[in-house]
Amino acid sequence: MPSAGRSVVLQLRVRRFTCGNSGCTRRTFVEQIPGLTRRHGQRTEWLRATLAAVGFALAGRAGARLNSALGVCVSRSTVLRLVDALP
């Protein structure tokens, strides 16, 4: 989420581990930070949950407009995809 009206970019340095087992299908593993990151994620968990909550309350276009007013530009498709991923 923006802070004081400015965009914020987090740059993380995580460790990459290799699997020594030749039978393992995954060769490398990357450290995840609980509550902050997820595999292949482009957003923090907090931002993803916030976008999904706005989308759940307002649906596609209205949710995208409110998120834009909050400083987070996402498409209506993204909002609906996040709502669809909710349990």
Model pLDDT for residues 9-45, shown as the tens digit of each residue: 778 787 888 888 878 777 777 777 777 777 777 777 8
pLDDT tier, 85 (very low <50, low <70, confident <90, very high otherwise): confident
pTM of the model: 0.61
Nearest to 46 by CA among 6, 84, 5, 10: 10
Q: What local confidence, expressed as pLDDT, does residue 1 receive?
A: 58
Residue 77 neighbours by CB under 8 Å, 6+ apart = 60
Mean pLDDT of the chain: 80
Q: What local confidence, expressed as pLDDT, does residue 29 receive?
A: 77
